[in-house]
Structure 1
Amino acid sequence: MVEDEVEMVTALREIFLNRGIVMNHAETLSEARIVAETYTHDVIILDRQLPDGDGLELISYLRADGNLAPVLVLTARGEISHKVEGLDHGADDYLAKPFAVEELLARIRALGRRPSNLQSDLVTAARLSYDYVSREVVVDGKTLELTRREHLVLETLLRHLGRMVMRPILMEAVFSMDDEVQPNALDTHVSRLRRKLSDANSGLVINGVRGVGYLLREEQ
């Protein structure tokens, strides 16, 4: 999120955390360029009125750098001409302030929370079903209780079912750049998720290569 209104960022960060969304934050265009180059993001939420320029400048920079992350412009400039200008500059969506939080969340989901190759919000693998909207995990009709971090690990691994997910990708999906992360924190969350999947007889197993990453696959 690229936004200089600290109070709004603080409020949205709490809301996002409760929805299992990891957010990085930059207050200026210059900070946003560094964060965008350092981390991979599903969606970029971008204000226009920033201390060092119009946020739309960032879109051109991102695209020139090969960054195709969808951009949602969230700004007080809500006139039709402003929206047209934003969309013409490459924004994928445009939402004016003030806004309803549920609408913002719905637009975020539409832009990037669901894997692009999926045709449904509901994913089924072995005996497990996962709803990317409600974030409910069900195994053989029974809800599987997971922590927020475990949800993020599972969601990321499901996006790459049967393929190795590199450790840096998982780290970015589970932790924000502001989190104080212990060296073995990711491994702890994966280990707990692995045990819960096994105890629930989900038919899914998590294999890992030390220092490289993890792979979610169906039992043979």
Structure 2
Amino acid sequence: MNILLVEDEPTVARLIQKGLSESGHSCEHADNGKDGLSFATSKQYDVIILDRMLPHMDGIEVLNSYRSQGVITPTLILSAKNKVEDKVKGLRAGAEDYLTKPFAFEELLARIEILASRNAPLSNTNLTLGELDLDLINRKVTREGKVIDLQSKEFKLLEYLMHNPGKIVTRTMLLEKVWEYNFDPQTNVIDVHISRLRNKIDKGFDYPMIETIRGAGYMINNR
């Protein structure tokens, strides 16, 4: 990923830049709002990490300005302002996510990777795992040649799982990617849809493909 970091605290900026570099990502840094706006409107980025309290221009001003100029780059606000009204203001200004300081770098990385993946185009029109095939163009799912009828959310849920075969997919990841929630609404919607999906994908076949990883999430495997 190519990331723009707009952050005026040198220690925080160094921590983020170092972590992103070690994770294989490139990061450009602006230490004030004016330069941050200039970078955001003149270059292409996968994600923008934006502080709220900045010299020259407040982070909300920067966000409003580049959104008004047609910049749709996914934006995560990173701020010490942790009141609900501060978060709501940032999200309503056009940010896709809001993380408060102090923060764990691992959480920041996970959040920006999710934002970037939402914006990334799908490179394949078919996903295949063993005898399970998902046709993204015709919205058709088959296993061992048998057509499986899925509802819209079930299809999207299976698509996300098949993009991550053999990997644990957490509830948070599913809520953000499939239901587009940036918080946990304490709902059993995932459990209900996973149960329905299992009944359609696994029932009547030799082995189950969707596995529950207790305390962690779900995983789809060929065996």
TM-score range for the pair, normalised by the shorter chain length: 0.5 to 0.7
Q: Which amino acid aligns with 1:103?
A: E
Match of 2:103 in 1: 99
Matches within 5 A, 1:205-220: none
- 1:103 deviates by 0.7
Given that residues 43 and 108 in structure 1 are in contact (C-alpha distance below 8 angstroms), is that contact kept between their aligned partners in structure 2? yes
Q: Which amino acid aligns with 1:5?
A: E
Match of 2:55 in 1: 51
Determine whether 1:14 maps to 2:22.
no
1:10 alignment partner, SS class:
helix
Match of 2:46 in 1: 42
Q: Which amino acid aligns with 2:78?
A: L
| Among 81, 87, 95, the residue aligned to 1:83 | 87
Match of 2:29 in 1: 25
Match of 1:62 in 2: 66
- 1:105 deviates by 0.5
Larger Rg: 2
2:26 alignment partner, SS class:
coil
Task: State the superposition RMSD in angstroms.
Answer: 2.8
Matches within 5 A, 1:57-206: 57-113=61-117, 116-118=120-122
Given that residues 50 and 59 in structure 2 are in contact (C-alpha distance below 8 angstroms), is that contact kept between their aligned partners in structure 1? yes
- 1:115 deviates by 5.4
2:108 alignment partner, SS class:
helix
Given that residues 46 and 72 in structure 1 are in contact (C-alpha distance below 8 angstroms), is that contact kept between their aligned partners in structure 2? yes
1:98 alignment partner, SS class:
coil
Question: What are the ranges of 5 or more consecutive residues in structure 2 without an aligned counterpart?
Answer: 129-162, 165-223
Given that residues 42 and 113 in structure 1 are in contact (C-alpha distance below 8 angstroms), is that contact kept between their aligned partners in structure 2? no
Given that residues 74 and 119 in structure 2 are in contact (C-alpha distance below 8 angstroms), is that contact kept between their aligned partners in structure 1? no
- 1:117 deviates by 2.7
Of stretches 35-44 and 91-100 in structure 1, the one that deviates more from structure 2 is 35-44
1:84 alignment partner, SS class:
helix
- 1:109 deviates by 0.5
Identical-pair percentage: 40
TM-score, normalising length from structure 2?
0.52
* Higher RCO structure, 1 or 2 (CA under 8 Å, sep 6+): 1
Please give the alpha-carbon distance, in whole angstroms, between the structure 2 residues aligned to 1:8 and 1:45: 12
- 1:114 deviates by 6.3
Please give the alpha-carbon distance, in whole angstroms, between the structure 2 residues aligned to 1:6 and 1:89: 26
* CA deviation map 1:54-102 (0-9, x unaligned): 2011111111111100110000001111101111111110000011111
Runs of 4+ displaced beyond 4 Å:
none
Please give the alpha-carbon distance, in whole angstroms, between the structure 1 residues aligned to 2:90 and 2:41: 22
